[in-house]
Each structure stands twice: as structure tokens, then as C-alpha cells.
Structure 1
Amino acid sequence: MRRRLINSTLSVVLVVIAVFGLSLFIVETRTIESSARDRLEAETARLLADVESRIAAGEPITAETMGASAPPDRQVVIDLPEQPAIRIGASAGDDAMESRQTGMHGETVEVRQPRSVVSNEISRMLVIILVVSLLAVAAAALLAVRQARRVSAPLTDLAETAERLGSGDPRPRHRRYGVPELDRVADVLDTSAERIARMLTAERRLAADASHQLRTPLTALSMRLEEIIATEDRDIVKEEAAVALAQVERLTDVVQRLLTNSRDPRLGSAVGFDLDEAVAQQMEEWRPAYRGGGRAIVHSGKQGLRAVGTPGAVSQVLATLVENALMHGAGTVALRTRVAGNQVVVEVTDEGPGVPKELGARVFERTVSARNSTGLGLAVARDLAEADGGRLELLGLSPPVFALFLSREAESGGRS
């Protein structure tokens, strides 16, 4: 492209120089010839006037007396009546330019100039035109190279940016080139890069959230299946199978919620639900795991509370808190329900060492973990709570007290 830009620019300049140079040469040639002819006529008229004045004064007219008046680079021929012609200067040749004028006494003055004088002047003019043309071509070549670099370098850079986007590197470069059209392309590429970066971030976050949110129901389902395998009591098998089916439904609900949030996080299905049922469900699901670890899980507080939210999301938040208490806590885990103004609260606490002081509220940040874990659980749980219009807070460090705040269903809403 750079070569094409240079060639096209030089072609235009050469055409312009050829057209105007040829026109200028023709005009200047005619001007030089016309000026030479005018000068000859002026010299002839001057010499004729000198001859007439000498005749009137009775002075002799000879080559010696007229030599001072005759121009040195021209041939002068003075023809007087009844006298031989007087010749002054060297012969101008057969193709010389000449001017002839006749006076009132019959005398004739002829001035001749060699054609080479005009030819030399035309040659000098032609050399000047050629030199100026060469300088113009050189300047045009430099400007063409500079302009080609100015255009081709940004295009190469934009191509590299597009290649980086295609290879999975969506970082915007924020480079501008001083050319409006190219800057517009750069703006579009930067905007696309930012959009792709947001999409990739959302996809990675969705994948991380999905893996973490599905892990807890799968763990509970695995425990139920192990109970089924370990027992031969048909009634226990039916009971555990029913719980396992509930876990499958919960998995379906988690997947559906993930897909909904990935399309639009504002979409939700908040309804009034019985908070005791959600708490009891989690206690029933996690009691075998706590029993296997020699620990207990208990429930206390106000009964009969109804909250507004998404039951599946609330169950996922509670499952995350209970699982964290099982993995990182110690002793008995207690779930307590209470009322705080127009909100209902579920507190989860255990008898373990709690959350280190240096973490504090940062425990809800992604990738932040006090132990060897992903650091996603509490961050995802807080996102789920906020999506339902609630909030998840750390009320105490040691012993650890996590509290889930949800809107309380109005009494006039009835029970469903």
C-alpha cells in the first residue's frame, strides 16, 4: 500500500509538472523571441535617428564614426544613397534575426542578431524549468513517503490490534493517529475490545459461579446416594431417594438461575416463602455430613417467619454458609432466625476460630480466602442475596457470625 501511495502521488505530480512545464516553456519561448525582436527594432530606430541627425548636421557617416553607437554583439548595415554600404560588427549568419528601417533621406539601417543569442536564453530558461521540476519532484517524493508512512503505519497498527482481538487479547490500546477516519476505526476497535473483555469476564465469572454453586447441591446429592447404597431398609431408601430428587430439582433451579442471571442479572422471581422450610431443608441435607464428622447442626429463634425472595437462591446462600462452617469451623453449627425491623434474618455461627482480623469484610471478595479454597463461595452467596434484594453480612469475627437479611413478607400478603 505504501508503494501504491507513493507511486500515485508521484504520478500526479509528474503529470502536473509536464502539463504546466510544457505550457510555461512555450509561453517563455515566445516571450524571449518577442523581446529579442523588440530590442532589435529599438536598436534600429536609435541608430536610424543617429544617422539622420548626422546627415542634418553635415557630419560624415563612416564605420569609424558609427562604431561607438552600434551594439557590440550585433551586425549593423547602413545603406546611404549613392554611397557604398557601411558594415559594422561581425557577420550574424544566414539564420540571424534582423530589423530594417528607412529614414526620410532614403537611408536604410539594418540590425542583425545571431539566432544563438535567443537560443542560449531559451536554453537557460529550459534549465531553470528542469531544475525547478526536479526540486518539485523531490519534494513531492518526500511528502509522498511521509504521507504513505502516516497512513500505512496506522493501518498496520490497526491490523495488529484486530489480530490481537482475534487471538483472544481484548485489551484496548487507546492509540490515535491524527487522521479522523483512522481514529474512528481505532475508536470502534477499542470499544469492541472493551465489549469483548466484558463478555469474557462475564463468561469466566459465570463458569466459576456455576462450578461453585453446583458443587454444594452435588455434594449433598452424593451424600444421599451414599446413604442409599449403605442401607438395605426400603423405607430409608425411599426417604433418601425423595431427598435426592429434591436435590436434583434444586440443581435444575440453580442452573436455570445461572442462565437467567447471565442474560440479565435484574431478572428474578422473588416470591413470599416460608423461611422455616428453607432452614429445615438445609439442616436435613447437611445433618448426615455433620453426623459423619462428629458434629451437630441446630436451629433456634423465632418460628413462622415468611421472607420475600427466590427460594432456590436463599437455599444456595444458606448451603454455602453451612458448608463453610462444616469445612472451616468447629463444634456445633447454629442457625438462628429473628426479626430486624421490616426484615427477617438468618444467622449462621459455629464454635471455630472464626475469621482472621486482617480479612474482615474482605472475606466476601472473590479469590479472598483464609484457607485453601477458591474464595468464590461467600462472594457468590453475597451476589445471590443482593439479587434478591437482601444482603449478606459478617456480624462477628470470633466466633464467626454470618447473617442473611431478607425482606419480610407483609402480613396482608397472607400465606402461600
Structure 2
Amino acid sequence: MRRRLTLLVAATMCLALLAFVVPLALLLRTVAQDRAVATAGADAQSLVPLVGTADPDTLRTSVEHVAAGARAPLTVFLPDGTVLGTPAPRTDAVRLAARAGVSRTVERSDGREIVVAVLGRPDGTAVVRAFVPATELTHGVTRSWLVLAGLGIALLLLGLLVADRLSRALVVPISELSAVSHRLARADLTARARPDGPPELREVAGALNHLAGRIQELLREEREQVADLSHRLRAPLTSLRLETESLPAGDAARIAARVDAMERAVTGLISEARHRRETDVYVSCEATSAVRERVAFWTVLAEDTGRAVTLDVTADGPLPVGVAADELAAAVDALLGNVFAHTPDGTAFSVGLAPAAGGGAVLTVADEGPGLSSDLVGRGASLGGSTGLGLDIARRAAQSSGGRLALGTGPSGGARVTLELGPPQAPPVPD
């Protein structure tokens, strides 16, 4: 934008300078020509009284004196053929003036010829001739044009400098606003724009800062609501724990363990909702241990429902991914929960975890059930009477790390969900 504004000003100034300089240059040339012709004509007219009245000796002396001080060649042609002053041939204009008594200025290829007929002499008509060479007609014009061109270039450079300063005053605040908006898009809600530049840009910066503050307030309110909602789940969990005491010992221990796991998840959700900072988006975890832990949890339920579980982890070492451990666990729980919710008992499923080519990991959950439509990736979409949030939870976990979720069909015709998790990202350097 800065370069375009400068080019626009340069083009406008060039047109203005051309419209001003070209006519002025032509005017300077015309003025120089008129000045040279007028000077030569005045020298010729100064001899007219002497040619008409002076005696030959006085006339000769006066003509030679005037011709010596004239800028252009000055010649007097007497009726008897005598030539005084600067030697010159009798041209057609001189003969015409002597014959017809007409004074005139004649344009020639090598200059301008001024002839003045002097009447009243007893021996006939004398002619005073002044010749202005072409070099004299343009004397000083080249220098004036160079001065004019230099002045135009200086004005153009000055205009470009002013245009660059003005465009910088516009572009720099706009660039800062763009940088702040990108930081806000990356969830850095502490970013604020510095009101600078024209009043309109200062108003935009103020509006952007107000928007960022409002987003912070809305997120704070939303997290408080999530924390309150999660806190309300503790009462039913407490009641469920008390109910397990009336069950047989084996069932009570198993159900109490699951209630404890659910209570830990709720506690973690409350802690995350209350204490996680808006700018803390550069998180990571080790995917192998998180996936193994969640698969082990669901394996117990799989044994109760007659499902065969296969876990295939091909990583030789840790697999760091750019997603929090609780979010990854929630994504795995959502995918495995869908398997239990939408396939009949006895349906086998497998979980695979492998390193991705560019860093991160690829998590695959496949079952031998009836399959899954790609329309169910949308939030709230469900054909099985559920909330429809499971796949969306997994999708958002993948996208938060720079990955994606893909649905497909497994070798046996069942559903195959692939979760691509990006590698951890380094936090930005503070400004």
C-alpha cells in the first residue's frame, strides 16, 4: 500500500509538472526569440535618423560605432551601392525594401533578417539591415530549460518524500492493527492496538481494543458457567457413590472406581475452566501414555460387553503432540464412547497410534460395526439419540494442535476415525 500511494503521488506530480513545465519551456524560448529580435530591431531603428540626415563621413563613423556594440550583425545599404557596418550581401529582402520602401522581418533557416527602409534621401532609399542568427535566437534557452528541469526534479523528489512520510503514517498503524488482529486470532487476548495515525485509524484501534476486552469478558463468563455446571455434577456423583455401598463387594468396587474417575474428570474440568489463562494456548502432552491409559480404562468395559480390543502403538519413544493431556483423553473417550454407543455388544475395535511424518501423531480408532456417515462430524449431529458432541470434541482437539479429523471405512466395513494431531508449538516471543 505504501508503494502504491507513493507511485500514485509520483504519477500525479509528473502530470502536473508536465502540464506546467512544457508550456513554460515553450514560453521561455518564445521570450528569448522576441528579446533578440527586439534588440536587433532597436539597433536598426537607432541608425534611421543618421542614415537620413548625416553626411557620409559622420554616417560611416556612427554606423561602425553602433555595429561594433550591437549583439547582431548590423549593415547599412546606401542607394549608391555603398555598404557600411558589418559586410553582408544584398538579399531579396534588402532589394525589396530599397525598391518598395517596405520595412519587414524575414524568417530564414539560419536566423531572422530585419530590414528597415530609410526614405527621404535625395539619392534614393537606403536600407538598414540587422540579422539575428539562430544561435542568438536561442541564447540562454538551454540553460533556462536545465534550471527548469532541475527545479521540476527537485519538486518531484520533495513530493515523493512527503508522500512517503504521509503513506508511512497511514501504513504503519494499519500494519500494527493487522498484527494485533492476527494475535487475537491466535487466542492472544492480551494483544492491544496502539491508537495512532489519522482519527479514523485511532477509532478503529479503539474499537479493536474494546472488542478484545469484550471477548475476554465473555470467555471469563463462559468458563465460570462451565465451572458452575461441572460443580453441580458433584452432587449426583456423591449420591451415586453412596448407592454403590448397597451393591455386592465386587460390583461396588468396580462402580466406585468409575465414579472416582468421573469425579477426577469433573474436578479437572473445574480447575481448567477457572484457572486456565486465555493466552495459555501453547500446550502439549505425551500421546502414548495418555492413549494407553484411556484404552486400559475402556478395556474393562469392553470385557464386560464381549468386545475384543486391539491396541497398536508403533512409536519407539515418546510422541509429543500440541494438545493438552485432558483434551486428548476427552477425545479418546469420545471416540471409544461412540464405539460402545453405536455398535452392538461383541463388536471388536482397534486403536492405533503412530508418529506423523512432520511431527505429532496419528490416532486411529476402527471398529467392525455398521459404519458411520461423514455427516456426523458436525457439532450436535447424531442419528443414535446422543448429544452429537463426541466427534466434535475430537475434531476440536485435533484442530487445536493444527491437525484434523477424518472419517472413513475400515477393512471390515466398519467405521474408521483418524485423528491427526500436530506437534507442540513454541510460545511466541514477547514484544
TM, length-normalised to structure 2 = 0.47
TM, length-normalised to structure 1 = 0.49
